[in-house]
Amino acid sequence: MSAFIVEGGCPLNGTVSVHGAKNSVLPILAACILTPGECVIHNCPALSDVRASIDILRHLGCRVTQQDGTLTVDAKTLSACDVPDRLMREMRSSVIFLGAILGRVGEAVMSFPGGCELGPRPIDLHLAALRALGARIEETSVGLRCRGEGLTGCELTLSIPSVGATENAMLTAVAASGTTVINNAAREPEIVDLQRFLRTLGANIRGAGSSVITIEGGVPLHGGTFTVMADRIVAATYLTAAAAAGGQVEVLGTDYRHLSTVTAVLAEAGCKVQSEQNRICLSSNAPLLGVRPVRTAPYPGFPTDAQPPLMAALCKGTGTTVFVENIFENRYRHVDELTRMGADIRVEGRVAVVCGVPQLRGARLHAADLRGGAALVVAALGAGGESVITGLEHVDRGYQDLDGGLRSLGARIRRV
C-alpha cells in the first residue's frame, strides 16, 4: 500500500504546469465510441480513472494505444455493447459510456457505477434524458439494459444542471436523428471542451457554456485530433497548497477565468493573486484570514471539488469560515482527519464551521475520497512535523504525479 510522507512547514516557491482535466478527458474518451474513425487525444493525464476508461474501451473492442500524454483510440473495431461490473465499479464516471454505446450500437448493457462514496449520486437524470430521446431502458437489481433503435431528437429540460446527465444527453443526441435542445444544461468548462471535441469529429452542436445546448443529430462523424483542457481543480490544489504552506507559486496552463471564484476567496483570505491568460500567480506570507461563507454550486459558482483543499488551507490561520456544501452530502469525509491534526471544525448537515488555529500538527491520515485526499496533502504541507497519508488510490484517480509537482515547488513530500 502506497503512502505520502510529508514534512510540513516548508514554503512553496516556483512554477508548475497543470495536466489535462480528468473531468474533461473521461467524457471525451467515451465520445470516441461514436465515430469509426481514429481519435488522437493529446494532454491525456496518467490517472487511474483514465486507465479504467481505457479498459472499458478495450473490452468494447476498440484499439487503444498510449505514448506519453497522447492517447489514440480506434473504435472501428467496436464489437461489444456491455460494460461488466468489475469495470463499472472502478469509477463513478463510467456511466458516461451509456449514451455513447447506445448511440453507436443501439444497445447497451451495464451495471451501476462505483467510485468515491460521496453520497447518493442518482443517475435518474441520465436515464430520463435518454428515454426522452427514444431509448428503452430496463432497470434491474444488477444494472441497466438499454435499447435505442430509432433515437430521435427532442427538447428536454434537466431538473438540475447535472454535468453527467448533460454529457450523456449530448453524446446520445449526436447519434439521434433530428434536433435536440437541452435546457438547464450544465455550464462547466468541461462541457465546453466536450463540445469542442464533438465538433472536431464533425458533430453539429452549439451552446455549451450556456444553459441551452442545441444538437443537430445524425451527422456522419469522422476521426480527429484534440488537446484536452488543463485541470482547473489540480490548479486549485496547487494554489491552496501554496496558501497553506506560504511562499510564491506560478501555476501555468489553466484558464484563470475558470477559477475566479477560488482565487477570489484566496485573495479575501489574505493571499496576493495575479491572473492573466493561462497563468495564475499566488503569494502567501502571513496567516490566512477567515472569509465570507463559501457555498458550493454548479458552475460558475464555487466548485465542490475545490472545497476540501480550500477548507484544509483555512484550518490554519485566524478567523472563522463557514462552508455550505450544496452538491454532495458526504463531501466532509476529510474533516475527521483534519481534526486529528488539530483543526477546529464543527459539522452540522451540509454546513461546516472552520475556526482557524495557529498551527496544525503532523499525523497519520487516511484519504477516504479523491478531493479529501488532496485536502490532507494541503493540510500536511502547512502543518508542523511529519504526516503519513494513506488511501492514495483515491488521489491517483484525479492527480498525475501530485508529489512530483509539489516537489518541483520545494515541498518535502515523497511516495513510499
Q: How far apart are CA 80 and CA 90, in angstroms?
A: 19
Q: What is the DSSP string of 50-102?
A: HHHHHHHHHHTT-EEEEETTEEEEEGGG----EE-HHHHTT-GGGGGHHHHHH
* Residue 180 to residue 175: CA distance in whole angstroms: 11
Beta bridge partners of 357: 316
| Peptide linkage before 300 cis (omega within 30 of 0) | yes
C-alpha cell of residue 410: 520545494
Determine the length of the chain.
416
Please list the residues that pair with 38 across neighbouring strands: 74
What's the DSSP call for residue 210? B
Active site residue 10: no
**Marked catalytic residue, from 10, 81, 116, 281:** 116
Helix, strand or coil, per DSSP, at residue 176: coil
**Cα–Cα distance between 323 and 373 in angstroms, integer?**
18
- CB-side neighbour CA atoms (13 Å) of 376: 33
What are the strands of the beta sheet with 386-390, ordered from one edge? 364-366, 386-390, 4-7, 412-415
**Taken in order 199, 205, 206, 210, is the CA torsion positive or negative?**
negative
Question: Are the C-beta atoms of 342 and 359 separated by less than 8 Å?
Answer: yes
Reduce the DSSP state of residue 154 to 3 states and report it.
coil
SS3 of 110, please? Answer: strand
Angle at 370 between CA 344 and CA 41, to 5 degrees: 145
Cell digits of residue 278: 493561462
State how far the Cα of 310 lies from the Cα of 27, in Å rounded to an integer: 26
Give the whole-angstrom CA distance, residue 375 versus residue 314: 11
Instruction: Quote the strand ranges of 98-135, DSSP E.
Output: 107-110
Residues with catalytic annotation?
Answer: 116
